[in-house]
Structure 1
Amino acid sequence: MLLFLDVDGPLIPFGATNRPYPVYEAAGVPPEAAAGHPLLSRIDPSLGPRLAALGCELVWATTWMDDANTVVSPWLGLPPLPVVEWPDEDAPPALLHWKTRPLVAWAAGRPFVWLDDEITEADRAWVAAHHRRPALLHRVEHSYGITDADFTTVTQWLRTNGRTAGP
């Protein structure tokens, strides 16, 4: 089971107007390593073990590309992950997210979870029509990032679709 993971929004929350964001430090990551990425400290390092405990093959599906492995993976305590390379292609049909078709192609018929803050019903409908295996396209609220409720949704979906997930 694949889990496609976006960075901005799901891991780095942004856009909240009603509260300041918590600031985290990651064990073993020197402050100067994060200096070039001022929002990195918004990522809760405890998300790394929680994502790994889902039992999925984690895959970066982000415009961070390889920087996700050099910057975000160490922050989360994760090993380097596969990275979806975005093809140069024509614009997708109206309302369809530009990542949707490449992620279905990358999945190559395997079931998957996609965590992103820009998923819409158009993406869900397109995947349902073009991908024969189970797929959970879960929209994460960008102003909060991944929450306990998001983990609950993913865990329940994984259990329903044949994968036992951790807490």
Structure 2
Amino acid sequence: MSAPAPRPLLFLDVDGTLIPFGTTTAAQPGMSQGHAEAPVLPADAHPLLHKVNPKHGRRLETLPCDLVWATTWMSDANDVLAPLLGLPTLPVVDWPDYDEVGVLHWKTRGLVEWAQGRPFVWVDDEISHADQKWVSTHHHGPALLHRVDPRRGLTERDFIVIESWLMRAR
């Protein structure tokens, strides 16, 4: 009997994805920006943390995948964001050093290496057509590179697209 297939991975960016850059009305740090459960943050906290929607944590945890931080926040994502979202400590992609500068996003190669052939979703606000093409050529499993509008961050529409792809990938 063969082992069950590993669950897909979800590589999760922070800035522009969980922390949107734009809002219709600017909230002050410590204000909930319309999210009833948003915690009051200390004055020295990251200036945009008040934009994190704590409900995203529950929604992310219900997805049929393994969550992985794919952000320059590195382990700080577990220290700062995971508690705001009610998430457990997640694995963190340790970025290899690439000296190349080109059309590919600097995360692309590292995520494909980290996935080691497992199906994955990459949720980020900086994904390009070049990244899509490179992953389709170099990754030997299914992959969804889902670009989020950095002004809005993750939305219900994004969750529907991601969840639908994950259900098909199983």
SS at match of 1:47: helix
Cα RMSD, aligned residues only: 1.8
Count of residue correspondences? 158
Q: Distance in 2 between matches of 1:30 and 1:147?
A: 22
Contact preservation (8 Å) 2:19, 2:52: yes
Counterpart residue number, 2:126: 118
Contact preservation (8 Å) 1:26, 1:75: no
Partner AA of 2:14 in structure 1: V
Q: Distance in 2 between matches of 1:66 and 1:112?
A: 21
Q: TM-score, normalised by structure 1?
A: 0.88
Partner AA of 1:20 in structure 2: A
Alpha-carbon displacement from aligned partner over 1:99-158 (angstroms, at most 9, x marks no partner): 000000000111100000000110010000000100000000000000000011011111
Counterpart residue number, 2:14: 7
Q: Unpaired runs of 5+ in structure 2?
A: 1-7, 28-32
| Equivalent residue runs for 1:8-87 within 5 Å | 8-16=15-23, 18-20=24-26, 22=33, 24=35, 31-32=41-42, 35-87=44-96
Moved over 4 A (4+): 23-27
Q: Percent identity, aligned pairs only?
A: 56
Query: 1:149 and 2:149 equivalent?
Result: no
Shift in Å, 1:36: 2.1
Q: Distance in 2 between matches of 1:20 and 1:153?
A: 28
Q: Distance in 1 between matches of 2:141 and 2:113?
A: 12
Q: Unpaired runs of 5+ in structure 1?
A: 163-167
Query: 1:108 and 2:101 equivalent?
Result: no
